Amino acid sequence: MILLAPLAGTIRDLADVPDPVFAERLLGDGVAIAPDLAEILVAHAPCDGDVVKVFPGGHAIVIDGGVGPFLLHFGLETVELHGEGLRPCVAEGDRVAAGAPIVEIQAAALRERGINLVSPVVGISAQAVRLLAPAGSRITPGEPLLELLASTA
């Protein structure tokens, strides 16, 4: 399954994300996007799928597109905001199409508060991951980001 970029920005290796849960791949393998500077960011669904979980406040969303669920986490300290600056556009149980808005992020306001908006995209069911764009490159929403391969475990 191909996942498309949910945000515009620069691709970062998970090992370079300043959060050990992601950097050490404790949740799974994937990639992160350092989003472009903008006042408001809209994150888009990276594939067709079912919204399995919308975390309180909208700081993270789990979608299952057919080869197991994956996590989109918007920013690194956003869980502590209890929804401030984030507005989910989807609810648990929704079916989304690739490219559909899933979260609106008040990026400028969050950055002013010192929030790091690096956003990991991680397979959380032991899926194998193949990057389709190298770390350090720029990506825009809808461009191929990574491929999730079904777990063989």
Residues known to be catalytic = 73
Of residues 60, 41, 44, the one with CA closest to residue 52: 60
Please, are residues 49 and 96 in contact by the beta-carbon 8 Å criterion?
yes
Measured distance between the N- and C-terminal CA atoms of the chain, rounded to whole angstroms: 17
Of residues 32, 41, 43, the one with CA closest to residue 10: 32
Beta strands 60-64 and 2-4: pairing type?
unpaired
The residue type of 140 is: T
d(CA 116, CA 153): 34
